[in-house]
Amino acid sequence: MYQALYRKYRPRFFRDVAGQEHITSVLSKEVAEGTFGHAYLFTGSRGIGKTTCAKILAKAVNCPNEKDGEPCGECEVCRGIDDGSLLDVTEMDAASNRNIDDIRDLRSEANFTPAVAKYRVYIIDEAHMLTKEAANALLKIMEEPPEHVIFILATTEVHRLPATILSRCMRFDYRRMPPEVIAERVKFVCKMEHIDIEDDGAMLIGKLADGGMRDALSLLDICRSSDEVITADTVSRCAGLAGREYLFELTDKIAEKDVSAVLGAVDKLYEGSADVSRICDELINHFRNLMIVSCAKDASAILKVLPGEMLRIEKQAKVFSQQDIFYAVSVLQDTLVKMSKSASKRLEFELALVKLCSPALSSSTEALLARIEKLESEIAVLKARGVAPAEPKNVEPKVKNMDEVPAPVYETAPAESALEEMPKEPSGEGEFEHWDDIMDIIRKKNGMLFSLLSGSKAYLSGKRVLIDAPNGFFIDYMQKNDDAKEVIKNAITEACGTRYGIGPYKKTEKKPEDDPLAALAKRAAEMGIGEL
């Protein structure tokens, strides 16, 4: 029977474990000096060598021919552990043996001395899956273990283990393997199996494996049956990708704000049976690359990209501002979460791409900042061409006191007969004394609205609360968002017990230079720059 590559080339010695030298060197030294403990905890992502190291450690502590902390691999004990026939070493999957009865059986068995080996070794994989009762039962024997017993716990979610168990284990954190290390191992396996593979193909396998050697060899197993020579295109096709080129094409269309072209590209990918969730994830990583290039001085030292891709990434990074990149990553990450709950992943992805092409459709902070940055850059270009903005005229404030405020109202206050009985009334007309309490309520209910109201004041005029907000976007936001109006009015009612109408108010008209956002918007209008 054919044996999968990840099983056939599973390391049998500490020296063969790639990318985890910071752990294997310590373990082999402990075995050589006889200072190994009774309980170990191996934690890290999947497929990076946790269970493999556990089995090698079990061989090393029991091997009669151990040398420099390494098992011989040839004796009866080593062969028995490798093929699973040695009963003194038990590998238990806690995902399916997670109940207290399973741990009670383990405790009863652990009291017996080993039949062949020197130590009974219990390897508990996915240890975080143990029930609370089972974990407590395991804790009891870990507190006072028999001298001939060693526990090795492996988990991908260490935060789910009780602190009482963590404190009794020697913990080792396994790292994700760099793509270069995985690529070298892949090329070694290909050499042993007489498989032709190009460097680009091996590197792409290393990147798609996400730090896990098992995933890399599993993907190699698929690729070997596809083409005689494994290339980057072969890997892309076998991994369910539509080729790396689609990332650059989609990004170019997003930069051009060409919605039709973007949707057409998605349709083409979908017809080719591409997984839109995987495409979204890859696009997030692509924008991450653009972010690193735009922010870091030496991006090539951080990015692990295929040869020839760096220049194209640097070229695309110049097209986007940092705010555009942050906005794109935010939208795509939110979309990836929504896909897991949506009936149509394709629709969620298409909506995200339309938002990236038209930031005006989004009211998120990232979208507003991206639009502001674009406006600032356009003004800078006009200045560079010698286009000077007209000097703003100083307008003498017409409103002198509170009674003369001609404030438009978003919603008329309810008639007297409709008002509920008040537990307390604001005292007189003037500055609204409950505004700080109202802001606290708004902060908890609507963070976006709270940020727009930052630094604001409010005044009471009859049956209306007039809001003086320094943020120039506040009035426009309120006119388009009925929910925000309700949030404010409900907060007023909650704070003071009275239902009021609301409206904007400016006690004195500020000069444009006092309000940067208002000045920017006014200058843009005077230069003929349209709404973004």
Q: CATH code at 20? A: 3.40.50.300
| pTM as predicted | 0.58
89 and 186 within one domain: no
CA dist 319 and 324 (Å) reads 10
What CATH number has the domain bearing residue 471?
3.30.300.180
Residue 150 predicted with pLDDT over 90: yes
Distance of CA 345 to the CA centre of its chain: 18
DSSP string computed for 113-164: PPSSSSSEEEEEETGGGS-HHHHHHHHHHHHS--TTEEEEEEES-GGGS-HH
Say if residue 149 is in the same domain as residue 192: no
Same domain, 219 and 165: no
| Amino acid (one-letter) located at 189 | V
Who wins on pLDDT, 285 or 445?
A: 285
The verdict on 189 and 156 lying in the same domain is no
For β-strands 149-155 and 120-125, DSSP reports them as parallel
Residue 311 lies in a domain: yes
Segment (H or E) for 475? helix 474-480
Query: Can you give the pLDDT at residue 140?
Result: 87
Sign of the alpha-carbon torsion through 186, 189, 195, 198: positive
Q: Are residues 205 and 234 in the same domain?
A: yes
Count of the separate structural domains present in the chain: 4
- Decide if 531 is inside a domain: no
Q: Are residues 168 and 219 in the same domain?
A: no
Sequence letter at residue 179: P
**Highest-confidence range of 230-239, 336-345, 376-385, by mean pLDDT?**
336-345
Query: How far is residue 146's CA from residue 112's CA, in Å, rounded to a whole number?
Result: 9
* Sheet bearing 430-431, strands edge to edge: 430-431, 457-461, 464-468, 501-504
In a domain, 248, yes or no: no
Going by pLDDT thresholds of 50, 70 and 90, the confidence category of residue 173 is very high
Model confidence at 329: pLDDT above 80: yes
Output the six-digit token pair for 397: 């404030």
Residue 22, pLDDT > 50, answer yes
Instruction: Clarify whether residues 19 and 163 are in a common domain.
Output: yes
Q: Interhelix angle for 345-357 vs 259-271, to 10°?
A: 150
Rounded Cα distance between 253 and 267, Å, is 14
Res. 9: pLDDT tops 60: yes
For residue 73, the tally of other CB atoms under 10 A from its CB is 15
Q: What's the pLDDT band for 423 if we cut at 50, 70, 90? A: very low
Is a pLDDT exceeding 50 seen at residue 169?
Answer: yes
* Residue 300 placed within a domain: yes
Q: How many of the other CB atoms lie within 10 Å of CB of 320?
A: 21
The residue among 144, 173, 202 that closes a domain is 173
pLDDT surpassing 60 at residue 49: yes
| Cα dihedral sign, 330-314-298-20 | positive
Q: How many helices (H) and strands (E) does the chain have?
A: 23, 11
The reply to whether 258 falls in a domain is no
DSSP of 278-317? HHHHHHHHHHHHHHHHHH-S-GGGT----TTHHHHHHHHH
| Phi, psi for 296 (deg, rounded to 5) | -95, 150
Q: Both 144 and 231 in a single domain?
A: no
Q: Is residue 287 part of a domain?
A: yes
80 and 136 part of one domain: yes
Which stretch of DSSP H or E encloses residue 516?
Answer: helix 516-526
**The one-letter amino acid at 233:** D
More confident residue, 487 or 507: 487
- Same domain? 227 vs 325: no
Q: Residue 225 maps to which CATH number?
A: 1.10.8.60
Q: Is residue 246 part of a domain?
A: no
Around Cβ 438, how many Cβ atoms within 10 Å? 23
**Are the CB atoms for 230 and 224 separated by under 8 Å?**
yes
SS3 (DSSP) at 40: strand
Please give the residue range of the domain that contains residue 234: 179-238
Residue 330 shares a structural domain with residue 457: no
Nearby residues of 423 by Cβ (< 8 Å), 6 or more positions away: 497
Phi, psi (deg, nearest 5) at residue 39: -145, 130
pLDDT band at 428 (very low <50, low <70, confident <90, very high): very low
Say if residue 163 is in the same domain as residue 51.
Answer: yes
Final residue of a structural domain among 150, 173, 196? 173
Q: Examine residue 355 and state whether it is found in any structural domain, yes or no.
A: yes
Tell me the backbone φ, ψ of residue 236, rounded to 5 degrees. -60, -45
Final residue of a structural domain among 173, 188, 205: 173
In this prediction, residue 378 carries a pLDDT of: 63
Task: List, for residues 94-147, the tens digit of each pLDDT value.
Answer: 888 888 888 999 988 988 999 899 999 999 999 999 998 999 999 988 988 899
